[in-house]
Copies of this chain bind each other. A is one copy, B any other.
Amino acid sequence: MSLPGAVTLVEVGPRDGLQGQKTVLSVEQRVALISSLAASGLSRIEAGSFVNPERIPAMRDTDQVLARLPATASVRYCALTPNMKGLDAALEAGVKEVAVFTGASETFTQKNIQCSIAQSLERFQPLIEKASQAGVLVRGYLSCTMGCPYEGKVALDQVASLAWELHQMGCYEISLGDTIGVGNPVRVRQLIEKITRQLSVEVLAAHFHDTYGLAMANLYAAMESGITIIDSAVAGLGGCPYAKGASGNVATEDVLFMLNGLGIETGVNMDRLLDVNTLVCSQGDFPNFSRTAKALLTARERF
């Protein structure tokens, strides 16, 4: 097993991190956050979500956020589009990538997006086709790949076949979510081994939550299995929606510290990222879940 020479970090803080927050950032604040993330060298940023603002107020005015972002060839912004109405709004806003979201667990999918897994795929088919015709990339999120808060264990075969199906439907990339952070390095390896019997590892991204402190170990195992695309959120933004006060998305700073130590290229600057950490935590009075940021911001010792 060897590690990759370079990894692409997909920053999900401005969407996955903010969407569940009680504090709703203004359009100006979200634009400042996303612009700073881009300035730190992140080349892919999930900038928002075209969802019902009544249901998720934190994602309101995603179109305005996107419209105010500086146009740059070095960053690709992505927006979550749960349905055709969302896609139309995203196309209108001119994003080059959208994302759809389903789960590997029936109960979770039902509670999260109010339909069965099969229904979610049916719903996505015309959406993916329309996006593709417009030259827009479609990312497929698959949640609960390591376990489900309602069903417990999720079968590897179920995850692998859904990943394959999403790819067949036109998703260029499948982001494997450990939504509740219950994965472990062996499970990660087994899952990737299973999925890559049908799909190239290059189409897979790791979207791991650090709820129980295992995200970094799991990401290391994922990289050993060939994964080169990692989702993370600055400051571990968002926490865990299923356990108040617990950590959720793995922190971008922590992932970057590990990648830097391993000599893996990312193009991301830690000092600038720490500035974003400070910015976003003060913007919404959000807790800082990044161990690296806490240590570096305090000690300012560099290794």
Contact = CB atoms under 8 A, between A and B. Distances in A.
Interface in A268-295: 290-292, 294-295
A3 B221 CA distance: 13
Interface string A163-186: 000000000000000001111111
Given A184-B258, A242-B299, A290 B213 contact: yes
B243 A301 contact: yes
A1 B220 CA distance: 15
Which of A181, A210, A291, A292: most chain B CB closer than 10 A? A291
A291 B186 contact: no
A214 B257 contact: yes
Contact of A247 (B221, B291, B301): B291
A211 interface: yes
A208 to B, nearest CB: 12
A290 B245 CA distance: 12
Interface string A132-167: 000000000000000101001000000000000000
Given A184-B262, A186-B262, A220-B220, A213 B257 contact: yes
Give this chain's copy count.
Answer: 2
A3 to B, nearest CB: 7
Interface residues of A, number: 46
Nearest to A256: B212
A24 to B, nearest CB: 23
Given A3-B186, A246-B294, A214 B299 contact: no
Contacts of A258: 184, 212-214, 217
B213 A292 contact: yes
Contact of A244 (B211, B240, B298): B298
Contact of A251 (B213, B216, B220, B301): B213
Contacts of A292: 212-213
B220 A185 contact: yes
A240 B181 contact: no
A123 interface: no
Contacts of A254: 212-214
29 contacts: A1-B1, A3-B186, A149-B301, A152-B303, A182-B303, A184-B258, A184-B261, A184-B262, A185-B262, A187-B261, A210-B213, A211-B291, A212-B258, A212-B296, A213-B258, A213-B290, A213-B291, A213-B292, A214-B258, A217-B217, A217-B220, A220-B220, A242-B299, A243-B299, A245-B294, A246-B291, A246-B294, A247-B291, A247-B294
